[in-house]
């Protein structure tokens, strides 16, 4: 295992897209310490900010409050990263494989544009979880994101494939411009869920005020939805057993083949 311990908490964001198993798996300790990072307008080395232990491994532990460290796990395709503390912007962006576990909170754009792999966040996520960068028309394309806390606005925006599960609450515009994939919010969701979605599924456990461009379709059970909830339950999320859902379809302003499934509770 390679252990990276932050020397001191940062006040200026640090761009460290070199912290990924793809780039460290064949590097010696000296080579890892010499990898380039960007701190403000300065080009420095990873060893200027982190104490480095170990070498040539696909398993990385990042220790310390990395709230200001951006791009950890960027474009990773294999291996594992465990962040023992908070994580900064763009963690896991564009990742295609491997696993990231965060034992703290994470800032915006966690898992942005990801295509595969798994992210498990034990704390709260910022905005644009699994979303698209501004100007992009497709967000998350595959993989799984599990959040044990809350999430911010536009969770799963422009999502095309994959699974996002949030144990707590989510902000406004969950599933905005969603193209496909599945989002599960086990707490409360904010307003305008599914705005402009074309396809995809948003599963909610608590009442929301649906947009007028969604219409009630049916009351349903689904083995496919049961599989999704069982997947979440296997990671310790509290999900209902043998649930029924009220199905709403929309957004009819666009293609209108998306669905919001609201848990049906006994009267």
Confidence of residue 226 (pLDDT cuts 50, 70, 90): very high
Determine the straight-line distance between the first and last CA of the chain, rounded to whole angstroms.
Answer: 53
Model pLDDT, residue 265: 85
Q: Tokens at residue 18, please?
A: 């070199």
pLDDT (tens digit per residue) in 48-106 = 999 999 999 999 999 999 999 999 999 999 999 999 999 999 999 999 999 999 999 99
Kindly report, residue by residue over 238-265, the tens digit of the pLDDT.
Answer: 999 889 999 999 999 998 999 999 999 8
Residue 179, pLDDT above cutoff 80: yes
What is the per-residue pLDDT across 131-163, written as a single tens digit (0 to 9) for each?
999 999 999 999 999 999 999 999 999 999 999
Mean pLDDT of the chain: 97
Give the residues across from 81 on adjacent strands: 60, 100
CATH class of 108-263: mainly beta
Average pLDDT over residues 194-218: 97
**pLDDT > 70? residue 217:** yes
| Domain residue ranges of the chain, discontinuous segments joined by + | 108-263
Whole-number pLDDT of residue 267: 46
Per residue in 16-31, pLDDT (tens digit) is 999 999 999 999 999 9
* Residue spans of beta strands (DSSP E) within the chain: 2-6, 14-15, 36-39, 42-45, 50-53, 59-63, 69-70, 80-84, 99-102, 118-121, 144-147, 163-166, 182-185, 201-204, 215-220, 245-250, 258-263
Q: How far apart are CA 113 and CA 109, in angstroms?
A: 9
Provide the 3-class DSSP secondary structure of residue 113.
coil
Task: Please classify residue 169 by burial: count the beta carbons closer than 10 Å to its beta carbon, then call 0-12 exposed, 13-18 middle and 19+ buried.
Answer: middle
Q: What is the mean pLDDT of residues 222-231?
A: 95
Q: Residues 129-145, buried b or exposed e (16+ Cβ, 10 A)?
A: bbbbeeeeeebbbbbbb
Q: What is the per-residue pLDDT for 183?
A: 98
Strands 182-185 and 201-204: what pairing? parallel
């Amino acid at each position: 295992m390679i252990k990276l311990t932050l020397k001191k908490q940062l006040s200026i964001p640090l761009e460290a897209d070199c912290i990924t198993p793809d780039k460290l798996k064949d590097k010696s300790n000296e080579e890892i310490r010499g990898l380039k990072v960007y701190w403000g307008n300065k080009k420095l080395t990873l060893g200027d900010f982190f104490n480095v232990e170990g070498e040539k491994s696909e398993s990385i532990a990042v220790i310390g409050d990395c709230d200001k460290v951006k791009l950890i796990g960027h474009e990773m395709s294999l291996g594992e990263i465990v962040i023992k503390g908070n994580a900064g912007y763009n963690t896991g962006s564009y990742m295609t494989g491997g696993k990231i576990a965060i034992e703290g909170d994470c800032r915006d754009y966690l898992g942005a544009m990801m295509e595969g792999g798994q992210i498990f966040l034990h704390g709260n996520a910022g905005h644009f979880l699994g979303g698209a960068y501004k100007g992009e028309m497709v967000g998350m394309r595959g993989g799984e994101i599990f959040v044990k806390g809350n999430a911010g606005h536009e969770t799963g925006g422009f999502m095309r494939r994959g699974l996002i599960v949030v144990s707590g609450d989510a902000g406004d515009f969950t599933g905005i411009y969603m193209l496909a994939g599945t989002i599960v919010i086990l707490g409360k969701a904010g307003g305008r869920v599914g705005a402009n979605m074309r396809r995809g599924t948003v599963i909610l456990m608590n009442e929301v005020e649906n947009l007028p461009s969604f219409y009630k379709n049916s009351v349903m059970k689904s083995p496919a939805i049961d599989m999704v909830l069982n997947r979440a339950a296997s990671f310790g999320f509290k999900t209902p057993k043998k649930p029924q859902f009220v199905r709403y379809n929309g957004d009819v302003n666009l293609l209108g083949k998306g669905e919001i499934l609201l848990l049906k509770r006994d009267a």
